[in-house]
Structure 1
Amino acid sequence: MARVDFAFGAQDRLRMACEVAHKHYLASRSLIVYCRDEQMLGDFDRQLWGFDPTAFVPHVRADDPLASSTPVWLTADPPQPARHGAPAAWLLNLDSQCPPGAEGFERILEIVSDKPEDKQAARLRWRQYQADGHTPCAHDVSNT
């Protein structure tokens, strides 16, 4: 089973997701960012380019020809744990539902803002992960 970490209390969900992607890039760890909502995925893509004037996070769509040499992949399709011969990537789920194939990942990261609809969706995902045999962990990030 995957380790599932929920970061609750994010002031800005997408900004924190950018910070997470940046940390993974600096740690030389592959990261798949999943969201079925193309609008949100596009917003995240744009934010990665400018969330920090000194940060750079190389990223492409998972089906891009450069994916094999890029550490962060964005996808609206069901995420694949290992792509292009790379080591198993961690999954950052930005979708409102649990990602398909969650059991194939070593680790899944969930970021939750204080918005009521975001918290409600996170509660449903938490229960679904539990029903699927995962043991989610909660982390309060409201003071970061």
Structure 2
Amino acid sequence: MSRVDFAYGAVHRLRMACGTAARHVAAGRRLLVYCTDERRLQRFDALLWEFDPTSFIPHALADDPLADQADVILVPDAASLDRIPSLHWLLNLDLDCPPGAERFERILEIVSGHEADIQAARRRWTQYQQAGHDVRGHRLPADHPAAGNHRRT
């Protein structure tokens, strides 16, 4: 089964996801990012372009011909996720658990302080546990750049 890590207390979920993607790329790991919400995935894609003006996070949509060369692959639906060989690491930006979660060594979840985000994360936590995954929670320290009391996702 997979290990699922929830990081909660993020001020801005998508900005923290960009930081997570950047750390994985810097460590030489490729990352799948799953999200069926087209607007959210587009916002994340745009943020990857502007996240750090001094660097570039190579990324592509799953159906892009260059996806095989990208360090971060944006996956918009379950069918695309099924077609992609597992890269071991998946960042879930969806409100539901990714299908076939057991295929991944690690699943990363980022939770903001927004109530709807918290409730959806609690549902995912329960579903992961019921499926037998190793689920762990990590509260972001108050001094972490992505933590805070703001209610944005």
What is the TM-score normalised by the length of structure 2? 0.88
Say whether the 8 Å CA contact 2:88–2:103 is kept in structure 1: no
- The answer to whether the Cα contact below 8 Å between 1:30 and 1:90 also exists between their aligned partners in 2 is yes
Q: Give 1:126 deviation, angstroms.
A: 0.2
* Alignment correspondent of 2:129: 130
What is the one-letter code of the residue matched to 2:12? D
Q: C-alpha separation between the residues in 2 aligned to 1:30 and 1:97?
A: 22
Matches within 5 A, 1:101-120: 101-120=100-119
Does the residue aligned with 2:102 lie in a helix, a strand or coil? helix
Q: Shift in Å at residue 80 of structure 1?
A: 4.3
Q: Which consecutive residues of structure 1, in runs of 5 or more, have no partner in the other structure?
A: none
Note the C-alpha offset of 1:55: 2.7
Partner of 1:36, secondary structure, is coil
Alignment correspondent of 2:10: 10
Q: Tell me the CA shift for residue 28 of structure 1.
A: 1.1
Q: CA-to-partner distance for each residue in 1:19-71, whole Å, 9 max, x for gaps?
A: 00001111110100000001100000000011222231000001111111111
| CA–CA separation in structure 2 for the residues paired with 1:120 and 1:81 | 30
1:10 and 1:142 in contact (8 A); partners too: no
Partner deviation per Cα, 1:60-96 (whole Å, 9 max, x = no partner): 001111111111000112224953xxx7331000000
Aligned residues: 141
Residue type of the partner of 1:51?
Answer: F
- d(CA) in 1 for partners of 2:82, 2:27: 21
Distance 1:110 1:81 in 2: 22
- Sort the Cα spacing of 1:40 and 1:142 in 2 relative to 1 into closer, same or farther, 3 A: farther
- Paired residue secondary structure (1:4): strand
Matched residue, 1:58: 58
Give unpaired runs (5+ residues) of structure 2: 145-153
TM-score by length of 1: 0.93
Cα RMSD, aligned residues only = 1.4
* Superposition misfits of 4+ residues, deviation over 4 angstroms: none
Between the two proteins, what is the percent identity of the paired residues? Answer: 56
SS of 1:53's equivalent in the other structure is coil
Letter matched to residue 112 of structure 1: V
Mapped to 2, the partners of 1:81 and 1:9 lie a distance apart of 33
Paired residue type of 2:22: H
Aligned to 2:138: 139
